[in-house]
């Protein structure tokens, strides 16, 4: 369902060429838009971020579609297009576990969105609240792990690991009518976990590189990243 930006570009381009608008040919497939930010590649074992949940958000396609808006951090293998990856974040709109939600629900995926798990009932995120979002691979005898607010798990796929690894984060929407980053913008302070800090120690990114798909926007400097638009 949710996908790393650089794998989705051909789908988005083809959809725009055919339709001239944001929608692809069927109601269940969308030309996704992204704001994204990335840091180094190497032996890093995890990605984390402090961020504040949205105050307002909108996914106007409604409950009859598979539209969504989300924010997530990733640890992935850039050499295989993030086919090996852990994505951890929260969304509103459609999800494969419960269908439609107007809440902000935590989730994670493995393998570039191919395997998604949404948080159980009762873990909806509160508005305008500072939360920790993070993941790490299985390494040196430890287990793979995710955390979004007060939902966490080290049983997602206990031995899941890959190399090399890149720190990455993105906001994603399925149509240019959806709000990204709560509309007015969502700020992140980004962290990485070096192999020497596994499994509990994270450090702020020292540098970053970011981009976005208009009409959305994104800005970055060092460990700071912000994205939004509506």
Q: For residue 121, give the CATH number of its domain.
A: 2.60.120
Total of domains in the chain: 1
Residue labelled with tokens 């570039």? 112
Largest CA distance in the chain: 50
| Residue 63 belongs to a domain | yes
pLDDT, position 126: 98
Q: Is 42 left (phi over 0), alpha (psi -120 to 50) or beta?
A: left
How far is the C-alpha of 90 from the C-alpha of 104, rounded, in Å? Answer: 6
Cβ atoms within 10 Å, residue 51: 23
pLDDT, position 81: 92
Structural domain boundaries, residue 204: 33-228
| Residue 8 belongs to a domain | no
Per-residue CA distances from 57 to 112, 148, 173, 180, 230 (Å): 25, 18, 11, 8, 9
From the list 156, 137, 127, the residue with the least C-alpha distance to 48 is: 137
pLDDT, position 178: 94
| Residue 7 belongs to a domain | no
| Residue 43 belongs to a domain | yes
SS3 10: helix
pLDDT, position 201: 98
Ranges of the chain whose pLDDT falls below 50: 6-29
Query: What does pTM read for this prediction?
Result: 0.89
| Residue 169 belongs to a domain | yes
How far is the C-alpha of 196 from the C-alpha of 192, rounded, in Å? Answer: 11
| Residue 139 belongs to a domain | yes
| Residue 26 belongs to a domain | no
From the list 129, 128, 124, 155, the residue with the least C-alpha distance to 142 is: 155
pLDDT, position 22: 31
| Residue 20 belongs to a domain | no
How far is the C-alpha of 22 from the C-alpha of 213, rounded, in Å? Answer: 12
pLDDT digits (tens, 9 = 90+) for 111-135: 999 999 999 999 999 999 999 999 9
């Amino acid at each position: 369902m949710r996908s790393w930006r650089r794998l989705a570009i051909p789908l988005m381009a083809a959809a725009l060429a055919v339709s001239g608008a944001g929608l692809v040919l069927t109601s269940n497939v969308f030309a996704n838009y992204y704001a994204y930010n990335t840091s180094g590649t190497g032996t890093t074992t995890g990605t984390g971020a402090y961020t504040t949940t949205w105050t307002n958000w909108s996914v106007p396609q409604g409950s009859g579609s598979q539209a969504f808006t989300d924010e997530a951090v990733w640890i992935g293998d850039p050499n295989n297009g993030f086919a090996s990856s852990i994505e951890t974040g929260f969304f509103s709109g459609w999800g494969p576990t419960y269908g439609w939600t107007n809440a902000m629900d935590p989730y994670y995926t493995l393998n570039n969105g191919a395997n998604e798990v949404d948080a159980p009932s009762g873990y909806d995120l509160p508005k305008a609240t500072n939360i920790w979002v993070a993941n790490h691979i299985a390494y040196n005898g430890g287990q793979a792990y995710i955390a979004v607010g007060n939902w966490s798990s080290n049983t997602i796929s206990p031995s899941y690991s890959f190399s090399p690894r890149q720190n990455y984060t993105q906001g994603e929407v399925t149509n240019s009518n959806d709000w990204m980053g709560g509309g007015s913008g969502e700020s992140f302070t980004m962290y990485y976990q070096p192999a020497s800090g596994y499994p509990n120690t994270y450090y702020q990114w020292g540098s970053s590189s970011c981009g976005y798909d208009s009409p959305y926007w994104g800005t970055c400097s060092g460990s700071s990243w912000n994205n939004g638009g509506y």
